[in-house]
């Protein structure tokens, strides 16, 4: 029988703990496949965040560090500087990267730290039970914005790609969505480019993945995908925000 | 033998480096030494001081309550530390900046116009080395040759400044 | 050959000679000479220097680098060390070796920049969350600090725990003659099979982690940590007894304050008072047993803990003495430093002279 699909070797056989309909699993697979395709077996070190992906160290089949909330880019800096020939990827959620860890991500980007950051933006705190995130949309209800996020009280969503692309350090900044097969394929390409940039020594890259959290949004997985596609992309437009290769052409 | 010296003056007068030269000389002479600076915002333009303890044995406290010798390079320093000098101790007064006389009569006082001698040596910035010369003559702790060698060594990367500093050392040494 | 070096610079050089090849820090007085020195020196030895965006980031860079196998260090002063506490707790939980230098300044809050010992509790009782300790040293001289920094990574790796040097502004700023030992050869360092250097895959992959969601698993880890601390206490406890053999009054002090006390002891003896000094060199593990032995000595009438704080180490002195003899306290705080004469006066008053 012809083999048409195989699970990537860069994932372990441990079952994901993620909720049904959550896109973390897709994101994990895309990263793992890209790592394998780029020949990173036995050469990769991943940094797991605090948040739903806290157990990422169980799933990626490579050396992993689990670190403090928001500090992944700093820890990754430490790893990369002492293992410059290895591929270091960072996996962070929106609370981790865009709230408690804003200083770390901005300065890692500003230094042009030669790492690849995968930023999962699902506009909500998942692990702690659905609180407001820095990327929660205006009007979106969460357990700490029960009447919907009000900008006059809680400020506005932070647009990480837009923010970081103003810096000179990054080589590649892109926002994708895990909302449908076509966008998932685009996300894979972006992740691959980010990792390739690192291997080629081009410096910092960040790929934001608009993601779902049906459990905490209180909607079905399909409705959550639609929310990403129809609502989140209005505030967080998809696209490439910085690409030093394109700029050189 | 244990000699406790407080050196004080304005930041920029070479207070700390004067203390360091004493410390370098002490090591070259096989003695034990501690050099403890005041630190913080007062280093910029305000008063600055350092405590140097030179001893035959390991130095216990680097903190000096009552110095054997006070080197006062400016007026506020003289006022601040004058009363703390041990009876029978010495105060070296930089008379080019301090017109006042020491009021105590239980200490030896040396008035030294360091700036005038420094200018004679070729550069006003060597005033602290003039004082160094005077101090080693007074204390008899180190030979002129040993300190001259230390100066040559420490200024090895700036050979241009060595002659004026050696001259300043000698002028200070011979001034008392 | 002995050379005149500032405490901060000597500590940095000794750490490098001891194998440190990664420094991460953030400016704060009075320890700035350490990062400044490392910024110049690390490139010369093929090491890494980064001025981080904050103390929080610096300690997490240490986490990453230590986890990846490097001998990594950070240094700071009190307010900055407070910021590092989260990272220190994670480092201890993840069982990572590293060197942390605290050149203590007066607090609380922004406090002042002058010498203090008011971070003692934070250093030895656990400044961050959870059950953990570090190997904490309180060196009295630049030479002692150099010797400790030189071997710090060997000890840290042996116990898979951070080593902390608890200095103060005086130790950082003082210049003394020191013998700097030769560069250690990294080829002689013991292999670490737990590092995430990127070569792991499948059953060989390594994980640096402090998360144990099952209570039983976490309890096992905490017992493992404390078994190591016990071993640490057996092997590493260090102290100095200065003229305590026939002492009637025993001063207890650590770090630079202990030197001031030594001068005081000699002045007191010149005045006919049999004084001595007990000086803990390791602050964790604390030399309780030796202190208990001194307390049991017939000659000893009382203890006086002398600190640059409102009274922190004195609590450990009381634990060691365990009620056998009275324990009193004399401290200066806010950055003020006592002189030997101040201590003599306190003792003389106590003795009714």
Instruction: Please tell me the predicted confidence (pLDDT) of residue B42.
Output: 52
CA distance A226 to chain C (A): 34
Phi, psi of C238 (to 5 degrees): -135, 145
Q: Which ipTM did the prediction report?
A: 0.93
Whether residue C105 is predicted with pLDDT greater than 60 in this model: the reply is yes
CA distance B61 to chain C (A): 4
CATH 3.40.920.10 fits B2-174, yes or no: yes
pLDDT at B15: 95
pLDDT, average across residues C268-283: 98
Does the pTM of the predicted model rise above 0.90? yes
- Specify the number of domains making up chain A: 1
The per-residue pLDDT for range A133-154, each reduced to its tens digit, is 999 999 999 999 999 999 999 9
Q: Looking at the predicted structure, is the pLDDT value of residue C138 above 60?
A: yes
Query: Bridge partners of A63?
Result: A45
Asked whether residue A1 carries a pLDDT value surpassing 90, the answer given is no
- Give domain status of residue A162, yes or no: yes
If pLDDT is split at 50, 70 and 90, which confidence band does A249 have? low
Whether A142 is in a domain gets the answer: yes
Answer whether B34 sits within 8 Å of C339, measured CB to CB: no
pLDDT at C86 over 60: yes
* Chain C residues whose beta carbon lies within 8 Å of the beta carbon of residue A41: 201
How far apart, in whole angstroms, are the C-alpha atoms of residue B84 and residue B79? 10
Would you mind telling me the total number of residues written for chain A in this entry?
A: 249
Non-local CB neighbours of B75 within 8 Å, separated by 6+ positions: B97, B98, B100
- Res C168 pLDDT > 90: yes
Residue A16 within any structural domain of the chain? no
Q: In whole angstroms, how far apart are CA C7 and each of A219, C14, C126?
A: 62, 10, 25
Determine what percent of chain A is predicted with pLDDT higher than 70.
Answer: 100
Going by pLDDT thresholds of 50, 70 and 90, the confidence category of residue A121 is very high
Please answer whether residues C12 and C41 qualify as being in contact, where contact means their C-beta atoms are separated by less than 8 angstroms.
Answer: yes
Per-residue model confidence (pLDDT) at position C233:
98
Q: What is the pLDDT of residue B43?
A: 52
Beta-carbon neighbour count of residue A168 at 10 Å? 10
| Domain range C3-197+208-236, CATH architecture | 3-Layer(aba) Sandwich (3.40)
Q: Give the pLDDT score at B60.
A: 94
Contact B60 C256 (CB under 8 A): no
Provide the pLDDT for residue A210: 98
C-alpha distance from C209 to closest chain B C-alpha (Å) = 41
Domain assignment present for A14: no
Give the contacts of A219 (CB within 8 A, at least 6 positions apart).
Answer: A227
* Distance between CA atoms of residues C285 and B15, nearest Å: 41
Can you give the residue range of the structural domain that contains A241? 24-248
Identify whether C30 is preceded by a cis peptide bond (ω within 30 of 0). yes
C259 min Cα distance to partner chain B (Å): 5
Give me the mean pLDDT over the B45-65 stretch: 92
Q: Which residues of C touch A (CB under 8 A)?
A: 21-22, 24, 48, 50, 52-54, 56-58, 60-70, 72, 86-87, 90, 94, 196-202, 205-211
Instruction: Give the model's confidence band at B44: pLDDT under 50 very low, under 70 low, under 90 confident, else very high.
Output: low
For position A223, which CATH number holds? Answer: 3.40.50.970
Q: Side by side, which strands form the sheet with A44-48?
A: A239-243, A172-177, A205-210, A116-121, A87-93, A44-48, A63-66, C207-208
DSSP B115-168: HHHHHHHT-GGGHHHHHHHHHHHHH--S-HHHHHHHHHHHTTT-GGGHHHHHHH
Which residue numbers of B have CB closer than 8 Å to C's CBs? 20, 23-24, 27, 32-37, 39-40, 59-66
CB-based contact C22 A76, cutoff 8 Å? no
How high is the pLDDT of residue A44? 98
Pick from C7, C244, C266: nearest CA to B57 = C266
* Reported confidence tier of residue B45, pLDDT bands at 50, 70, 90: low
Residue C74 has pLDDT above 60, yes or no: yes
Domain ranges within chain C, ordered by starting residue: 3-197+208-236, 240-350
Q: Residue A96's pLDDT is what?
A: 97
Per-residue CA distances from C340 to A81, B17, B60, C268 (Å): 47, 26, 10, 10
pLDDT tens digit sequence for A38-92: 999 999 999 999 999 999 999 999 999 999 999 999 999 999 999 999 999 999 9
Cβ–Cβ below 8 Å for A79 and C196:
yes
Q: Is C292 exposed, middle or buried (0-12, 13-18, 19+ CB in 10 A)?
A: middle
- The pLDDT of residue B40 is 72
The domain at C240-350 falls in which architecture? 3-Layer(aba) Sandwich (3.40)
Alpha carbon B159 to chain centroid distance? 22
pLDDT at B47 over 90: no
The sign one gets for the Cα dihedral C326, C327, C332, C337 is positive
């Amino acid at each position: 029988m012809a083999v048409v699909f195989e699970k990537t070797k860069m994932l372990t056989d441990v079952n994901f703990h993620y909720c049904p309909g959550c896109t973390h699993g897709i994101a994990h697979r895309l990263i793992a496949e890209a790592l394998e395709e780029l020949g990173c077996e036995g050469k990769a070190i991943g940094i797991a965040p605090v948040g739903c992906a806290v157990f990422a160290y169980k799933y990626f089949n490579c050396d992993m560090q689990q670190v403090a909330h928001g500090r992944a880019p700093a820890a990754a800096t430490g790893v990369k500087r002492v293992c410059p020939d290895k591929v270091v990827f960072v996996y962070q959620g929106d609370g981790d990267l865009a709230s408690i860890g804003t200083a770390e991500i901005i300065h890692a980007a500003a230094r042009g730290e030669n790492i690849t950051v995968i930023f999962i933006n699902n506009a909500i705190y998942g692990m702690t039970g659905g609180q407001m995130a820095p990327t929660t949309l205006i009007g979106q209800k969460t357990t700490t914005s029960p009447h919907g996020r009000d900008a006059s009280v809680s400020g506005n969503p932070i647009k990480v790609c837009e923010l970081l692309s103003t810096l000179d350090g990054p080589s590649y900044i892109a926002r994708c969505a895990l909302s449908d097969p076509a966008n998932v394929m685009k996300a894979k390409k972006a992740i691959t480019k980010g990792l390739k940039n690192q291997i080629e020594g081009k410096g910092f890259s960040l790929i934001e993945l608009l993601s779902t959290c049906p459990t905490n949004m209180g909607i079905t997985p399909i409705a959550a995908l639609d929310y990403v596609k129809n609502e989140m992309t209005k505030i967080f437009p998809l696209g490439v925000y910085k690409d030093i290769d394109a700029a050189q052409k | 033998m244990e000699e406790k010296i407080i050196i004080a003056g304005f930041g920029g007068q070479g207070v700390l480096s004067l203390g360091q030269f004493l410390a370098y000389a002490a090591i070259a002479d096989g003695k034990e030494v501690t050099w403890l600076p005041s630190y913080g915002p007062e280093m910029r333009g305000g008063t600055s001081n350092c405590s140097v303890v030179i001893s035959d044995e390991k130095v216990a406290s680097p903190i000096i309550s009552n110095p054997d010798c006070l080197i006062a390079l400016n007026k506020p320093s003289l006022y601040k530390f004058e009363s703390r000098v041990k009876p029978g101790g010495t105060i070296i007064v930089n008379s080019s900046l301090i017109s006042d006389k020491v009021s105590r009569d239980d200490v030896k006082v040396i008035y030294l116009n360091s700036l005038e001698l420094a200018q004679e040596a070729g550069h006003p910035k060597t005033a602290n080395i003039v004082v160094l010369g005077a101090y080693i003559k007074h204390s008899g702790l180190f030979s002129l040759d040993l300190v001259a060698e230390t100066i040559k060594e420490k200024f090895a990367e700036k050979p241009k400044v060595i002659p004026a500093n050696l001259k300043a050392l000698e002028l200070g040494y011979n001034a008392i | 050959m002995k050379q005149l070096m500032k405490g901060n610079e000597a500590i940095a050089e000794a750490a490098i000679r001891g194998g440190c090849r990664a420094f991460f820090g953030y400016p704060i007085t009075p320890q700035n000479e350490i990062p400044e020195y490392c910024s110049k020196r690390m490139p010369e030895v093929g090491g890494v220097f980064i001025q981080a965006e904050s103390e929080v980031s610096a300690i997490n860079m240490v986490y990453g680098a230590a986890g990846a196998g490097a001998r990594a260090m950070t240094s700071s002063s009190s307010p900055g060390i407070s910021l590092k506490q989260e990272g220190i707790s994670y480092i201890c939980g993840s069982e990572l070796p590293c060197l942390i230098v605290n050149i203590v300044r007066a607090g609380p809050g922004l406090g002042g920049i002058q010498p203090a010992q008011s971070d003692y509790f934070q250093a030895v009782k656990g400044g961050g969350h959870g059950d953990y300790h570090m190997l904490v040293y309180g060196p009295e001289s630049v030479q002692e600090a150099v010797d400790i920094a030189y071997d710090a990574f060997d000890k840290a790796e042996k116990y898979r725990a951070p080593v902390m040097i608890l200095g103060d502004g005086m130790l950082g700023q003082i210049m003394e003659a020191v013998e700097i030992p030769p560069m250690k050869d990294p080829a002689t360092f013991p292999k670490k099979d737990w590092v995430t250097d990127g070569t792991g895959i499948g059953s060989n992959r390594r994980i640096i982690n402090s998360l144990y969601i099952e209570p039983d698993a976490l309890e096992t880890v905490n017992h493992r940590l404390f078994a190591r601390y016990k071993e640490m206490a057996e092997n590493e406890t260090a102290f100095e007894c200065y003229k305590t053999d026939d002492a009637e009054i025993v001063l207890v002090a650590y770090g630079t304050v202990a030197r001031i006390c030594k001068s005081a002891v000699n002045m007191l003896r010149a005045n006919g008072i049999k004084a001595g000094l007990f000086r803990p060199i390791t602050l964790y593990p604390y030399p309780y047993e030796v202190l208990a032995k001194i307390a049991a000595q017939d000659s000893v009438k009382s203890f006086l803990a002398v600190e640059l704080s409102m009274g922190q180490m004195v609590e450990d002195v009381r634990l060691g003495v365990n009620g056998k003899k009275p324990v009193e306290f004399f401290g200066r705080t806010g950055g003020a430093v006592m002189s030997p004469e101040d201590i003599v006066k306190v003792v003389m008053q106590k003795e009714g002279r």
